Structures are given as C-alpha cells and as structure tokens.
Amino acid sequence: MMEILMSRIISADEVKQINAPTAFARSIPARILYAPEVYDQDRRQFRNEWMAIGFGADVPEPGCMKPIDFAGYPLLMTRQNDGSVQVFYNFCPHRGMPLLKQATKQRRLSCGYHCWTFDLSGELVATPHIDGIQKSTFDGQDKASNGLHRVRTEMWFDMIFVNLSGDAPPLLDHLAPLVERIPASNLAAAKADGEFPEYVRDANWKVVIETGIEDYHLPFIHSTLNYNESYTDENGGDAYQGFTAVWPMETFRVRAGDDAGDQSDELPLFPTYAGKETGESGIFFLYPTGQLTIGANHIRLTTLNPVAADKTILRHSFYYCGDAATDPTFAGTRKEVRDFWEMVGNEDDDLMRVMQSTTRAREEAGVYGSYSPRWERNLHAFHQHLARRYERV
C-alpha cells in the first residue's frame, strides 16, 4: 500500500470515471474500503467535520456523563446545568489519565491518578496536595487553563455532533437542506425511549453506508422488504444523501408488529401524518458518521463508529410520538420496532462482512463496479462525495 502514501488516494482518472453519468460511471477504487492508511486519513479528516457521536438521550439530565470512544477519539458527553450538551475529551489534562469508564450522574469528576477534580462545566476545582501535604494550591496556580479539554459541540434534533478542529461552519448551516427537509413538528413531538441497541459490523464505515443507501438489494437480501416505485433520491451534496419512499400506513403498522383488531397499542402517528392514508419512510446518511431513519410512527437515529478500517459499531436511539416513547402500554410495540430493524440489520450484517472480504481482491484485480441508473443514483452520489473527500487530501 506504499503507493497510496506516495501518491493520491484516488487518481485523476478514477475521479473522472466516477463523475460520468450514473449509467456509465465506474465505482470508487476498493482500496478506500480496507487500507489502514486510508482509515488513518479518514480519522484526520473527521476532525474537520461534524461527526455524529451520540444522542441527547445518552445524557438525559444535568449531571449525566457518558464516555464514548469514537473513531479512536476518547470523548465524554455531558448534560450541563443549563440543559445543553457539552462534550470533552475523556482524559485528564494533567498527565492524560482516562477519566470515566462508564456512564454516571454526578456533579464532579475526579481523576484516578492524582485526584485532580473538575466540575460539570469542566473547570478544575481541586488539586489535593499539589504543593505538599495538605497544600492543595500554590501561588499563581493557573486553574483556568487546566480544565477538561472542551470539544466544539452542537446538536440537531437529538443527535450530538462534535467538530474536533473547532473551525467547521455552524452545524445548522451545514445541515440546512436536511433541517428544511424533515418536518420540525414531527421532531418536536418525538421523544426517546432510552434504549440504545448496539451492533458490531465487520466492515469499513463506507461499506456500511454502501449497503444501506440503495433499495436495489431489498428483494434479494431482505425477505420482508420489496421494491417501491415511489423510491426517491435525497441528495444533500456533501452534507447527506439517502432515499425516501411512500408506503400505505398499514406498512408502518406491520413494522410495529400491530396485530389487526387490537388498536390499543398501535403507535400514534407523528403530526404531519395524522389522518393520512400514506406515510413517508426514508434513510439519510449524515456524512460522515450519522444516520437518520424516518417513518410515520417512529424515528431512528444511528451513529456509525468507525473503530477500525474493517470494523464499525452501530448504535441506535429510537423516538416515538409523545408519551408513546415511554408509556408501558406501548412497550411491546416499541420492542417490535427494534426487533424489525434488528432483523433487517442482521441480514445486512452478513452482506457487509462478505462485501468487506472481497475489497482487497477487487483492488488487486483493478475491478471497478458500475451502477443501476434507477436504484443506485444515491450510491453513486455517495461515491462522488467520497471522491471529493479524497481529492482534497
């Protein structure tokens, strides 16, 4: 793989063939799907972007703290006294000791090494014995610049995003097309159920997106899903890509395991679908690591944590309309929704593993894929987005 280090990740000729019309374009080179050097480059590039790392529901109340290692960055999500979410690096600014190992709710945080103590806002508040026995401060001690290292944090809906470099445009400017696209009234009504199903995929994060961004494979891989002629591309340029489709409301009820006849535990519809015959489903990938799944009666947020060149951890958070998110009456239907997506995900799990397994051979053989002009326009758009990422390197 030395040639990657010596030259560009993607060549000018490869960029040209990707940018042909979908029916005639050739795919991205497979080396970007497995090479450790490209994974390292991805990690560096994530710093300059808005990386989706978790959910507001992870830290529901002031004092809640939850560590997460995301793309190899040790981070700590916290809920502040004013209700805002703030992310810090999860290591001590003194010698770099890791701070929290698991989620907790507390007002202060003490390092396990020399017991420096920080408040919820990250400020250094105590340094026991720092200048001798019982001498916990010294003249001129600079506590202000020895607090926890803050990370630029913004939220959209319940998704926590961080920009490690600190100089990306504001999140809501970046996500503007999506913010306009998803009805705000539905998001305002959506509440989390507090469950975070997590799955490990033996695949590069780009393979995970590849296998989720088109509907071409549905009837072949997912026995319960099928083509839908209303399938529409959603192209948000370098912010997101995905697709939507319109389904009869019955589809959403079936996905929630509703048994006809008993409507007492039928999930309520989000406001824009109330009284309608049909609803919209959709999957949007918020580059690089976020995913939004919408439906008439539930919403799912997902983070794609690229933990290695060939391993990605998916974490989900589910949202329902109002009290249906927590009311025990709906516990069974909420589980049906999680089970439905777990079943679909298990089918994709095998697919991702085997697709990852041929990446090196595809690169060595010099084989580039091609696209369905009907079903893979947004996969093509994703690959064009990737080409732009690596062209800038």
- How many residues belong to the site for Fe ion (CB under 5 A)? 1
When binding is defined by CB under 6 A, the residue of 4, 15, 97, 155 that contacts ligand FES is 97
Q: Distance from CA of residue 328 to its chain's centroid? A: 28
**One residue of 280, 348, 349, 363 binding Fe ion per CB under 5 A:** 348
Strand ordering across the sheet containing 124-126: 108-110, 117-119, 124-126
Rg value, the chain, Cα: 23
Burial of 283 (0-12, 13-18, 19+ CB in 10 A): buried
> Which C-beta is closer to ligand FES: that of 146 or that of 326?
146
Q: Pick one of 26, 114, 217, 335: the residue that binds ligand FES (CB under 6 A).
A: 114
Segment near Fe ion (CB under 5 A); pick from 20-28, 287-295, 307-315, 340-348: 340-348
Q: Which partner, ligand FES, Fe ion, none, binds residue 113 by CB below 5 to 8 Å per kind?
A: ligand FES
What's the Cα-to-Cα distance from 44 to each of 50, 72, 152, 237, 357, rounded to whole Å? 12, 11, 16, 21, 25
The verdict on 215 binding Fe ion (CB under 5 A) reads no
Q: Could you count the other beta carbons within 10 Å of the beta carbon of residue 178?
A: 20
Least distance in angstroms from the C-beta of 351 to Fe ion:
7
Interface with Fe ion, residue 214, by CB under 5 A: no
State in angstroms the smallest separation of the CB of 275 from Fe ion: 31
Is the Cα torsion angle 370, 372, 375, 378 positive or negative in sign? positive
Q: Does 138 bind ligand FES (CB under 6 A)?
A: no
Cβ closer to ligand FES: 111 or 299? 111
Q: Does 92 bind ligand FES (CB under 6 A)?
A: yes
Q: Which of 8, 95, 108, 150 binds ligand FES (CB under 6 A)?
A: 95
Listed in sequence order, the residues at least 6 apart from 191 whose beta carbon sits closer than 8 Å to its beta carbon are 319, 320, 321, 322, 323, 324, 325, 326
Nearest residue to Fe ion on Cβ basis: 348
Q: Residue 348: which of Fe ion, ligand FES, none does it interact with, CB under 5 to 8 A by kind?
A: Fe ion
Closest distance of CB 137 from ligand FES, Å: 14
Residue 18 site contact among ligand FES, Fe ion, none (CB < 5 to 8 Å, cut-off depends on kind):
none
Q: Which of residues 115-134 bind ligand FES (CB under 6 A)?
A: 116
Integer Cα distance of 332 and 256 in angstroms = 9
Considering only the stretches 80-88, 89-97, 153-161, 330-338, report the one whose residues sit in contact with ligand FES under the rule CB under 6 A: 89-97
Q: Which is nearer to Fe ion, 49 or 348 (CB)?
A: 348
DSSP summary character for residue 32: G
Alpha helices in the chain (DSSP H): 2-6, 12-18, 36-46, 171-174, 176-181, 184-189, 205-210, 218-221, 249-255, 331-357, 359-365, 377-391
Which one-letter amino acid corresponds to residue 142?
A: D
- By CB under 6 A, name the binding residues for ligand FES: 92, 94-95, 97, 111, 113-114, 116
